[in-house]
Structure formats: structure tokens, C-alpha cells
Chains A and B, each alone.
Chain A
Amino acid sequence: MSRISDRFASLHAARRPGLIPFITAGDPLPGATVAVMHALVEAGADLIELGVPFSDPMADGPVIQHASERALAQGVGLAQILGWVREFRTRDTATPVVLMGYLNPVEIHGVQRFAAEAVEAGVDGVLLVDCPVEEIATARPLREAGLDQIFLAAPTTDPARLEKVCAAAQGFLYYVSFAGITGAGHLSTEAVRERVGQIRRLARTPVAVGFGVKDAASAAAIAQFADAVVIGSALVDTLAHSADAAEAVRRAGAFLAPIRAALDALRTGHAA
């Protein structure tokens, strides 16, 4: 069992919807990332997605683009990010960490080398946005090293592909709630509910839903039928305005806590 499936198993046992915050590693300040990760866990995060900044984030909207640009301007790279995960692990060995990014930085680092270093640092899963199941061979060393390879499913994914994606998915399946870029769009809860229902019938992993979840209300709406919700741009945007690491930590906690509370209220509702 991986740390990710352990975590989902205990969430399931507790009938608790998972909460997955996404932050761009190194933004707003390289020195704040580890502290923000801990703050997110304290405020109720069940898993952390750490964005690896890339110069050409073609699937991301302006908020995450700008976060990536800020991080890159500070010289943030894979080696440093793995160092932060290692540091995070000295205090937290339970919360899974997934790196999310694009292929080129991983390829240039060397997929094999990256896989070994990521495992050693305590990374649990990797989501490579521009590596669909068809190109899975590219990422084989990640699996072989024991990292979960997280895949996306989208509203445009047809049933035949969905089967392939579900068969390949490890850890959890990330359902992208609408056709678009991160941080955009309006969530249609009903359409997402229907799709997640279909995916559940095929998936052997839990299903997390992201894109368009931005606050307690939207998170709670999605958590009624998804195993977990992912919140990215809204959090990244909140952190962006921090003057220093202490403020980033405060903002992270203040942002996530009410969302956690809304999800927990939902669980109480279920139980009743």
C-alpha cells in the first residue's frame, strides 16, 4: 500500500471527504513552502499537491502561470523542491505529497534520476500534466521506483479512453471538472456528479475532483459525491499577496480551515 492509498483508505473508513490543496512550490517565497505545507495539514489537508513551476504551463490559467513565473524568477528548481519535501518529511510522515507539473523539467533532470530522488525525499505520487496514458512509457521509471502515477480524466475523455485511464491510474484519479485551464470557469455540479458516477464504475482508485473548486461552498457541493476535492488557484491567489513567510502560513490556514469545516459538516450530515 502506498501512503496515498493508505490515506484514502482511512478517509473512506472515517467517511470523510478528502481535501487536497495545491500550491506552487516556491511561491510566494521559497522560504515559506515547507511552513505552508505544515500549516495546510494543520488546517485539515489530507494530501498536498506541490506544483513544480514550468516556464510554459500550457494547461494553467493566469493565477498559476504567475505563481510559476514568480517561483522561477527566484530560481526554484526540482532539486530545491525535493529538498523541501525531505524537510517536510522530518515532521510529517503521514501526509502524502504529490508533485504536479510538466514533463520537460523531469526529462531534463533525467526521469530515472528524478524517480530515485523523489522516492528518497518522500514524494508519493507524480502528476505530469502533459503525459497522457498514450505516452506512459516515458514515465515508466516513476512507477518502477514506487511512485504513484496520477492521471487526469476530463469532460472530453470518451468511454474507451476512460477505461484506459482508469486502468493506468494509481493513487487516485484526478477528474478535471470542466474543459478549460486551471482557475477558470464555473462549476456545473450536476454535470460533474454524473461524470464522477460513470468514472467510479470504472475506476479502481478513489476519484478526486479539481478545477473550479474555490471555496467552502463549491468544495462541499463536490464532496457530496467525490472522494476528494482539489483546491488550487484560489489558494495560490490568496498566498500570492503575502508579505512574508509568516503571513503566507497564516493565510494558508485561514483559507483552508473553513473549507475543512464545511466538508466535516457534510460528513456529520451523512452520518445523521
Chain B
Amino acid sequence: MSIDFHTLPDAHGRFGAYGGVYVAETLMAPLAELTAAYERLRTDPAFIAEYEHDLKHYVGRPSPIYHAERLSRKVGGAQILLKREDLNHTGAHKINNTIGQALVAKHMGKRRIIAETGAGQHGVASATVCARLGIPCVVYMGAVDVERQAINVYRMKLLGAEVVPVQSGSKTLKDALNEALRDWVTNVEDTFYMIGTVAGPHPYPQMVRDFNAVVGREARAQMLEQYGRLPHALVACVGGGSNAIGLFHAFLNDADVAIYGAEAAGDGIETGRHAASLAAGRPGVLHGNRTYVICDDNGQIIETHSVSAGLDYPGVGPEHAYLKDSGRARYLGVTDAEALAAFHELARTEGILAALESSHAVAQGIKLARELPRDQLVLVNLSGRGDKDVHTIARREGLDLT
């Protein structure tokens, strides 16, 4: 018996044992309101047409699949193909989701949008759609991330958003999410919370997945059209997991397509300084859903470590937890050093500066391709471009650009 992965989540937002709605009472009503609105809109032809129109004319979809021939030759194994989400307007897959949520917010008549961000890509993507809607946007960002993603902070401001540095906890993405939830609980009447990944309470893991699933739908059709077959394997980096599930979803029922998620192993999983929730965490409850979390024996969430702010998250979307347990997908750690090496390799062989997040996927793709015969195809999600990371990389290599 095979599982039909496209039937998930159930009506309670559960992916097997994971997902659900674990929030304080005050948020139950706005979540129910959002769920009802989304349930109505997701099958509404007019809504879908509006969404697809924006993706085509504003985001610039479809994004191409590019054959990284020089890189593949150098690796000497399977052919590495890149799904070029970095070419989207604003430079990452995150805009697929914010375009969709902006339309939901508009249909719900919300007058203010809040968002959390780690690398700043989701913050930029949120600020972008808010500028277009002409409604105020408040972006919560951990104070540590504000420091290391200065360019994106400024981009958000140029787009008219207010960026609020979050000083609590570890001052990174998880704390930004906490603060955004606190804002939402305080302003439930008029505020729409635009979550940037497939985490959070139901319906977010489903809704954010659906808006990113365009990546995999396109890729599947492109593979059949350009190569006459599906890839041997898919690879994507996993922070919260939105670009990964976006690519994976259309392929989940294609049992012959192997699926790999690349998590941030930071200094190495064995050092404890990492952000690999699936590879090294355990089931728990964080930010409104049951999933794998990185915590100590007292259940306290532990500070994570990754060179990439967008992967620096101690939880992960519940659907990935389910895919891991069911064996449908495998999640492996990629260290900072491996990701940086892959960043340079891709830059030099293909002329593409990948985001540090995406460089984790590239590194995993290279490892995988090396083990496979030349006629196999490995499709890597190049989730974003690296412009935002230039300063971080320079600093790591002892240069100061400021």
C-alpha cells in the first residue's frame, strides 16, 4: 500500500502525528478565520487566476531549469540541474508565498501585515507585496540577524516596511516568530500575519506549501518537457522547509524520485552547534505545531548555529517531520564549510552567486551527484541568490567591505 501524500494535511492540519494547532486561546479565532478564508479561496478559480497572473507578470515565473554542465563535469557524476528560484523578483522563492498570502489578506480585508524574517528574504518579499498593496508592513527580525543581513534590512526600509529588531531569547529567527505572534495576539482584529515558511499553526504549513508548490509543479513539467523523464533525485535546503516542500510536493507520489533535504549542520552535528532539526532533533512542540525541534532534556529550545541566517531555526515544518518518519524523504546535514565551498564552486564554474541557504542544497547535490552515474539527473532547488550574503562571506574570509 502506498501513501497518497497529496491528501495531507487532514482537516485538523495534521500530517500524521505532526502539525496541528498549538497556540494560546486568543489566536484560535483568527486562525479559524484564516483557515475558513483560505479553504474558500484555494479552490476559487478567480483567486487562482489572480495568483497565477501575479506570478507570471510580477515575479517572472516560470523560473528555468538550468543544466549546470561545467559543475557536473567537474564533479564527474550525475548531471546537476538547478531550479532557478534565484531569478524570481526579489531573489528567492519566498515571493511565491507572499504573493499568495497578500491576496488572501486582501480578500480578508486586513489593513496591516506583520512578518518575521531570518535572512531577510521573507521580510523583503513581504515588504514588496505590501508596497504593492499600499498597506503598512511590520517585519520582526532578531537583532543578531539585523546585524548579519544589513543589506536586506535596508531593502525592507526602502520598500516602506518598519523593521523591528527583536532582543529576546537568542535574537534570531525563532525569537522573531515569537514576537510576531505576540503582535498578532495583540492586534488580531485588523492584522494579517504572513508567516514565511511552512511552520507555525495550521493552516500555515499547508498554505505556505501550496503557494510554493508552483516550484515543483513547474519543475515536474519542465523535466518531462526538457528531458523526457523525471529526475533521479531532488535536493533542497531546509530551514523551515518552504522551498524544499515547494519543490518536493509535486513529486511526492513519484516513488522513483529520491528526495533529499539539506539541513544546516553548522560547525558539524557532533559539535552541537548546528540547526539540523530533523537530522539531530526530536519530536516536540514549537510555534504552534508538533514537529522535530532542537531542545535540551528540559525541553528548552537551544540556540542554533548556521552561517546562513535563513536556516538558523530550531524547528522545521511538520510535513517534513512526517516525510522523514515515513521514509519518503531523507534529511542530511551540510556544514558551514561545505556550504561555503559549494558557494565558491558554483560561482566559479557557472557564474551564479547562490544564497548561503541554497549553497547547502548545492553542496548536498554535489555529494549526491558524485555517487551517481553520469546519465542520472539530480535537480537542486537554487532557492535564492547570494547578493545578501556577500558581506557575510567577505567577513568570513577576512575582508571588510564596509
Q: CB within 8 Å of B: which residues of A?
A: 54-62, 65, 69, 72, 77-78, 102-109, 129-132, 134-135, 151-158, 161, 165, 176, 179-181, 184-185
Contact = CB atoms under 8 A, between A and B. Distances in A.
A154 B27 CA distance: 9
A187 to B, nearest CB: 14
B169 interface: yes
Contacts of B30: 156
B402 interface: no
B22 interface: yes
A58 B178 contact: yes
Contacts of B283: 107
A158 B295 CA distance: 35
B22 A135 contact: yes
Interface in B1-53: 12, 20-30
Contact of A61 (B25, B182, B287): B182
Contacts of A156: 25-30, 188
B398 interface: no
Contacts of B285: 102-104, 107, 130
A154 B31 CA distance: 14
With most chain A CB atoms within 10 A of its CB, the pick from B283, B284, B287, B302 is B284
B24 A108 contact: no
Contact of A132 (B25, B286, B293): B25
Interface in B275-315: 282-288, 293, 295, 297-302
A107 B18 CA distance: 14
Given A55-B302, A152-B26, A157-B29, 15 more contacts: A55-B301, A62-B168, A102-B285, A103-B284, A104-B285, A105-B300, A108-B284, A108-B297, A132-B22, A152-B24, A153-B25, A154-B25, A154-B26, A156-B188, A179-B188
B174 interface: yes
Contacts of A103: 22, 284-285
A232 to B, nearest CB: 14
B393 interface: no
Contacts of B22: 103, 130-132, 135
B298 A184 contact: no
A105 B300 CA distance: 6
A179 B185 CA distance: 6
Interface of B: 12, 20-30, 168-169, 174-175, 177-178, 181-182, 185-186, 188-189, 282-288, 293, 295, 297-302
A154 B25 CA distance: 6
B370 to A, nearest CB: 38
Contacts of A109: 298-299
B178 A132 contact: no
The 5 closest A-B pairs by CB, nearest first: A105-B299, A108-B299, A77-B298, A156-B29, A152-B25
A130 B288 contact: yes
Contacts of A59: 24, 26, 181-182, 185
Among B177, B186, B293, find the residue whose CB has the most chain A CB atoms closer than 10 A: B186
B29 A54 contact: no
B316 to A, nearest CB: 14
9 contacts: A58-B178, A58-B181, A59-B182, A102-B285, A130-B22, A156-B30, A161-B29, A176-B25, A181-B182
Contact of B168 (A65, A106, A176): A65
A104 B286 contact: yes
A54 B387 CA distance: 36
Contact of A181 (B12, B21, B185): B185
Given A108-B299, A165-B25, A58 B287 contact: yes
Given A78-B298, A107-B299, A158-B29, A180 B24 contact: no
Q: Which of B29, B174, B185 lies at the interface centre, i.e. has the most chain A CB atoms within 10 A of its CB?
A: B185
B298 A56 contact: no
Nearest to A134: B21
B323 to A, nearest CB: 21
A54 B182 CA distance: 15
B288 A107 contact: no
Contacts of A132: 21-25, 28
A135 B178 contact: no
A151 B25 CA distance: 8
Contacts of A77: 297-298, 300
B293 A104 contact: yes
Given A104-B293, A130-B24, A57 B178 contact: yes
Contacts of B169: 55-56, 65, 69
Contact of B299 (A69, A104, A154, A155): A104
B296 to A, nearest CB: 8
B287 A72 contact: no
A155 B285 CA distance: 25
Contacts of A65: 168-169
